[in-house]
Amino acid sequence: MAESAVYMPRPRLRRRGLLYELIDTIVLIVSIYALADLASVRFYVDGRSMQPNFYTGQRVIVSRVNYMLTEPERGEIIVFESPDRPGIDAPLIKRVIGLPGEHVEIIESQVFIDGQLLDEPYINDAIWRSSCRTDTEWDLNTGQYFVMGDNRNNSRDSRCFGPVEREHVIGEALVRYWPPQDIGLIYKLHYPEDPFE
């Protein structure tokens, strides 16, 4: 004769109170926001220096994490503290042109890196002038970057204040999030590795 199965009641889940659940959710949201805030910065584009690729009023998300793991590369858009007035002026947004150890030279509105012409499909004006110093050559030391605005006729950049030190770099611009019609990833120009060696 078969034995009848013994019924074992399932343990009941202990339900937490609504207040506990609400506090738990708020703590989770605040934690996620704090981590996102530490890893990124929101930046407001102000001025014409990066036209035609960025315009006044656009807002971008800048990643602090990228440059904790790697170094800035040529063609990337970075946000950094103004080297000549750090902590006084608002941060600037420019494109990385020259890397540490390179020789940057400007000849007749063209940029040469270690004697070779740099291909720059992101600028509109073939002829441009600078209201900055008359320097036309820069040797970059370890941890120095040469940056320029895409709108060469209206940009205060390394032609004015010289190379940007690595410690002044805040991060890489990754995403436009305002205005709605401009939402999207920021186009990243990839140069071949060591094109000037």
Q: Which of 31, 40, 63, 94 is catalytic?
A: 94
Query: Alpha-carbon distance 49 to 87, whole Å?
Result: 20
Q: Which of 49, 130, 155, 158 is catalytic?
A: 49
Q: What is the pLDDT of residue 116?
A: 95
The string of DSSP letters for 19-52 reads HHHHHHHHHHHHHHHHHHHHHEEEEE--SSTTTT
188 is catalytic: no
Q: What is the pLDDT of residue 20?
A: 75
Query: Alpha-carbon distance 128 to 57, whole Å?
Result: 25
Percent of the chain with pLDDT over 90: 55
63 is catalytic: no
What is the rounded average pLDDT for all residues in the chain?
85
pTM: 0.80
Identify the CATH homologous superfamily for domain 41-185.
Answer: Umud Fragment, subunit A (2.10.109.10)
User: For the segment 47-62, what is each residue's pLDDT rounded down to a tens digit?
Assistant: 999 999 999 999 999 9
How do the domains of the chain map onto residue ranges?
41-185
More confident residue, 4 or 167: 167
User: For the segment 111-142, what is each residue's pLDDT rounded down to a tens digit?
Assistant: 999 999 999 999 887 767 767 766 789 999 99
More confident residue, 27 or 47: 47
More confident residue, 13 or 170: 170
